[in-house]
């Protein structure tokens, strides 16, 4: 039994662990297309792997992963499952309030899907202002920003594919690893414009960038860099007095 995984515990053991742990990790991801080579679960599989390992190294609690996210822009690719921003906000809010009632006041959301960010930030703001739970949101691709070529950072490109090769290589279809330079989209060349874009506006394969440079060794390196930053976040959050985070200044 892993004492850092909440769903493995009986309630008497959970009661003890909840009294010992001051921080919980909530992995959140998506189930959406990640090119012809990667599994649909890429985002939630990576988020859970990071959260699970960080919980072990830092002796905090890891919750079960939330596998669905705000992914409607990928809906033209089969297998994508999406929830609305309001549904994600409500679901995550209820989970965080349950943690509050279990005396957990600091939470790190390990977010594996960028499309979730705005909804998660809204919930984090609401719960901080209500002085219930302080929520920090961690995204692995920002933690490693600038360490690899830009064309490897895109959706379903080399970094995500490398993480999949390292964490669960049997799920990667190596023969279908694809490079695709994303197009400029329907309003390409115009600066300062935001539209409700669709993935199909930019890519036919679902890949945005170079993926053929992916390796399991690179995936291990990416994982360790991101994990170090996640553990640093947990350490800093642990040091911060709760009154400084939740009480009115």
Looking up residue 124, the CATH number of its domain turns out to be: 3.40.50.10310
Q: What is the mean pLDDT of residues 147-154?
A: 96
Percentage, residues of the chain above pLDDT 70 = 99
User: Which of 23-37, 72-86, 181-195, 203-217 has the weakest average pLDDT?
Assistant: 181-195
Q: Is residue 160 part of a domain?
A: yes
Band (pLDDT 50/70/90 cuts) for residue 249 is: low
Span 204-239, pLDDT tens digits:
999 999 999 999 999 999 999 999 999 999 999 999
Give domain status of residue 191, yes or no.
yes
Q: How confident is the model at residue 185 (pLDDT cuts 50, 70, 90)?
A: confident
Examine the pLDDT at 124 and tell me if it is beyond 70.
yes
Is there a domain that residue 93 lies in? yes
Average pLDDT for 82-87: 98
Within-domain flag for 21: yes
Which residues are within 8 A (CB) of 41 and not within 5 positions of it... i.e. 6 or more apart?
A: 29, 31, 67, 171
Q: Is the pTM of this model over 0.85?
A: yes
Residue 1 lies in a domain: no
Instruction: Kindly state whether residue 110 falls inside one of the protein's structural domains.
Output: yes
SS (H, E, C) the chain: CCCCEHHHCCHHHHHHHHHHCCEEEEEECCECCCCCCCCCCHHHHHHHHHHHHHHHHHCCEECCCECCECCHHHCCCCCCEECCHHHHHHHHHHHHHHHHHCCCCEEEEEECCHHHHHHHHHHHHHHHHCCCCEEEEECHHHHCCCCCCHHHCCCCCHHHHHHHHHHHHHHCCHHHCCCECCCCCCCCCCCCCCCCCCHHHCCCCCCCECCCCCCHHHHHHHHHHHHHHHHHHHHHHHHCCHHHHHCCC
Number of domains observed in the structure of the chain = 1
Domain range enclosing 181: 6-246
Above 80 in pLDDT, residue 14? yes
Asked whether the predicted pLDDT for residue 186 surpasses 90, the reply is no
pLDDT at position 140: 98
Separation of alpha carbons 198 and 192, rounded Å: 18
In a domain, 80, yes or no: yes
How confident is the model at residue 62, as a pLDDT? 98
Nearest to 39 by CA among 222, 212, 205, 170: 170
In a domain, 83, yes or no: yes
């Amino acid at each position: 039994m892993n004492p850092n995984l909440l769903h493995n515990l009986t309630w008497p053991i959970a009661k003890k662990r909840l009294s010992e742990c001051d921080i919980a990790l909530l992995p959140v991801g998506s189930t959406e297309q990640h090119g012809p080579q990667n599994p649909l679960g890429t985002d939630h599989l990576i988020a859970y792997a990071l959260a699970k390992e960080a919980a072990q190294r830092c002796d905090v609690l890891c919750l079960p992963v939330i596998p669905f996210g705000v992914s409607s822009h990928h809906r033209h690719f089969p297998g994508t499952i999406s929830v609305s921003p309001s549904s994600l906000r409500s679901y995550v809010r209820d989970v965080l309030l349950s943690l509050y009632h279990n005396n957990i006041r600091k939470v790190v959301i390990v977010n594996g899907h960028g499309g979730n960010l705005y909804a998660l930030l809204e919930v984090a703001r609401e719960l901080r202002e209500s002085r219930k739970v302080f929520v920090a949101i961690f995204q692995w691709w920002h933690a490693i920003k600038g360490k690899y070529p830009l064309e490897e950072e895109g959706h379903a490109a080399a970094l995500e594919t490398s993480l999949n090769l390292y964490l669960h290589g049997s799920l990667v279809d190596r023969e279908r690893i694809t490079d695709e330079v994303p197009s400029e989209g329907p309003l390409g060349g115009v600066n300062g414009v935001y539209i409700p874009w669709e993935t199909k506006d930019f890519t036919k394969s679902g890949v945005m960038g170079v993926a053929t440079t992916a390796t399991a060794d690179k995936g291990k390196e990416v994982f360790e860099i991101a994990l170090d930053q996640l553990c640093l976040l947990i350490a800093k959050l642990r040091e911060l007095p709760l009154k400084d985070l939740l009480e009115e200044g």
